[in-house]
Structure 1
Amino acid sequence: MNRESLKMFLERVSDDKLVKHMLAVEAIMRGLAKRLGEDEDLWGITGLLHDIDYEETKDNPSRHGLVSAEILREHLPEEAIRAIMAHNERTGIEAKTKLDIGLRAADALSGLIVACALVMPNKKIEEVKLSTLKKKFKSKDFARGVDREKIKLCEKIGLELDEFLEIGLKSMKSISDSLGL
């Protein structure tokens, strides 16, 4: 997918917070791909575009991911399309491949990292330490909307939880300006 096509797709997303979330998931997916020896561009674009249909499907969650697949089918490889559909368990599509599982885990982790940044004194991701992220992961009362079980899916692709948290945090710190954090 070239930059022009990418720009066209991203024009479908008007919510600034959603764009930042998509950028965060892209960064984590690139970090994961690098660590796992996978295709960083494929994993990155999958992370970036995984929520392209969110604004259209927010009132019909079982369609989220399926509409993205319809939009992107002619532009992305089938493995990316499958991962995008599988990242939302409400579609009924099981996360089976490393890419599928990585996307589900990265999607959830991005929310936890943002929540950690927002409780820092200056609300900056640079202030978040790995030890803080680990502690907040264990605290059930913190960021209750973040599904810790999805984050723990990292173990199914050969990563210990601590390593995955570190990859996610470093990846998001590397684009902190784009995230406004």
Structure 2
Amino acid sequence: MSQLTLAKAKEILPKYTTEDHLFTHAMAVSAAMGAMADYFHADKDHWEAIGYLHDVDYEKYPNEHCHHVREFLEPEGVDEEDINTIISHGWGICDNDVEPTTDIEKSLFTVDELTGVVMAYALMRPEGITGMEVKGLKKKFKDKRFAAGCNRDVIKKGFAMLGLDAGTVMQACIDGMTAHKEELGLK
């Protein structure tokens, strides 16, 4: 089995997902994961692929999210390590005991929810994501009513697991998503 690529991930996801907002979220998480890969000097395409596929079972099994990843991805030739990485983003959230232990797993766990806050903030700004600063994002992050569906506790747990300050991870999310602002509709 070869390592998962973004091109392969983009072939797989449409087989299990039809809703536009899920593709937008997949792209946002993929973009953020690419920036996290840069931070960790890791394989950017691989990390983007993991981010793109992380919710592969969500549309069909929203109440059993992360429990059907293996049955969808094994037949696609995705290797065990990548499947476990994807499953780990639901640790402690989806009745899932696969704890994130690697940089890629911890990054996915953290940016999955964080991209939602970045997205919401970008959509309310006249200039979209362009010129977004961590300072403004931190202010929105502190307001629990803003992007209320994004779990701040999960994000904070992710910062701690990564051993990085919030600003570092927020900047990576902003940078990654800015690089894909056209695809994300954030310009």
**TM-score under structure 1 length normalisation:** 0.88
Measure the CA separation in 1 of the matches of 2:49 and 2:16. Answer: 15
Give the structure 2 partner of residue 54 of structure 1. 58
Match among 81, 85, 88 for residue 86 of structure 1? 88
Per-residue CA deviations over 1:99-155 (Å, capped at 9, x if unaligned) read: 222111110111000110122135x22253322101111112211111112222123
1:29 aligns with 2:33: yes
Q: Give the SS at the match of 2:30.
A: helix
Amino acid at match of 1:77: D
Map residues 1-181 of structure 1 onto 2, 5 A cutoff: 1=4, 3=7, 6-58=10-62, 61=63, 63-74=64-75, 75-88=77-90, 89-93=93-97, 94-121=99-126, 124-126=128-130, 128-152=132-156, 153-181=158-186
CA contact (8 A) 1:112 1:137 kept: yes
Measure the CA separation in 2 of the matches of 1:33 and 1:47. Answer: 11
Measure the CA separation in 2 of the matches of 1:164 and 1:71. Answer: 30
Measure the CA separation in 2 of the matches of 1:174 and 1:11. Answer: 26
CA contact (8 A) 1:69 1:84 kept: no
Q: Displacement of 1:9 after TM fit?
A: 3.2
Q: Displacement of 1:6 after TM fit?
A: 3.5
CA gap of 1:82–1:167, structure 2 versus 1, over 3 A, is same
Runs of 5+ unmatched residues, structure 1: none
Q: Displacement of 1:158 after TM fit?
A: 3.1
Measure the CA separation in 1 of the matches of 2:161 and 2:120. Answer: 25
Q: Give the SS at the match of 2:100.
A: coil
Per-residue CA deviations over 1:11-48 (Å, capped at 9, x if unaligned) read: 42211111010011011111111101222222111100
**TM-score under structure 2 length normalisation:** 0.85
- Superposed CA RMSD: 1.9
Task: Report the structure, 1 or 2, having the larger helix content.
Answer: 1
Runs of 5+ unmatched residues, structure 2: none
How many aligned positions are there? 177
CA contact (8 A) 1:83 1:100 kept: yes
